[in-house]
Amino acid sequence: MAVGKKLKQARKSIDKNKVYTAVEAIALVKSLATAKFDETIELSMNLGVDPKKADQNLRGVVKLPHGTGKTYRVAVFARGAKAEEAKNAGADIVGAEDLMERVRAGDMPFDRCIATPDMMGVVGRVGKILGPRGLMPNPKLGTVTMDVAEAVAAVKGGQVEFRAEKSGIVHTGFGKASFSNEALLENLKTFIDAIVKARPAGVKGTYVRKLSMSSTQGAGLTFALEA
């Protein structure tokens, strides 16, 4: 009930008929993030894409200059020297068939998964488990690579994965309420710029239809990057 009351109060502070500037939106959303934990500042982009069509599929990665404030646990499928390279780079779990068996058993204490190309045969055996969870390594996302050290560093350093949902919405957390307004704004602009640059060739008409921002437990508002 306490959270419900806070949310109702927060909504009263937001003008539903106003399109805020990004600077205004960040300041207001931060002021309404009153939970006892460090709330994530979240972005939703309503795009004019139909992910069901092959030429409108949107997926990729972008490194935020100030990270996300979240600690990612990384698993790496690799053998030999590459396994040691992954460990030295800070990977949380490294293995081959043994890691595959852990995944098969439902033991997956990680948020991202990386693999060397030669390990994809092993990874493929648990693809039906990793895939639905968005954990399947993918060359387009830089998570199937021989440079495992760089891939681990990228994930640990604030790399964000993006993907358009069935309704054409891209959602991400781009920082924490404890971040400075300037850091949040820079992260926000970097993410939106990456989405704009990744515009699928098959998209016609308006691409970015609506931008919304909120904190984890806060009310949402509409904003424009430039106003």
Say if 7 falls within a structural domain. no
Residue 1 scores a pLDDT above 80:
no
The verdict on 145 and 79 lying in the same domain is yes
Return the closest-CA partner of residue 173 out of 92, 100, 64. 64
State what percent of residues in the chain have pLDDT above 70: 94
Rounded distance between C-alpha atoms, residue 29 and residue 207, angstroms: 25
- 3-state SS, residue 116: coil
pLDDT of residue 46: 97
Q: What is the mean pLDDT of the chain?
A: 92
Residue 227 scores a pLDDT above 60:
no
pLDDT of residue 225: 81
What is the pLDDT averaged over residues 155-184?
A: 94
User: What ranges make up the beta strands (E) of the chain?
Assistant: 20-21, 40-47, 59-63, 74-77, 93-95, 112-115, 159-163, 169-176, 208-215, 221-224
DSSP letters spanning 147-192: -HHHHHHHHHTTEEEEE--TTSEEEEEEEETTS-HHHHHHHHHHHH
Say if 101 falls within a structural domain. yes
What is the pLDDT averaged over residues 134-155?
A: 94
The verdict on 166 and 133 lying in the same domain is no
State what percent of residues in the chain have pLDDT above 90: 82
Structure tokens at 190: 């970097």
Domain extent, residue 114, equals 74-156
pLDDT band for position 25 (50/70/90)?
Answer: very high
Return the closest-CA partner of residue 154 out of 227, 92, 67. 67
| CATH number of the domain within which 133 lies | 3.40.50.790
| CATH number of the domain within which 37 lies | 3.30.190.20
Judge whether 33 and 217 are in contact, CB under 8 Å: yes
Domain count, the chain: 2
* 204-218 pLDDT per residue, tens: 999 999 999 999 998
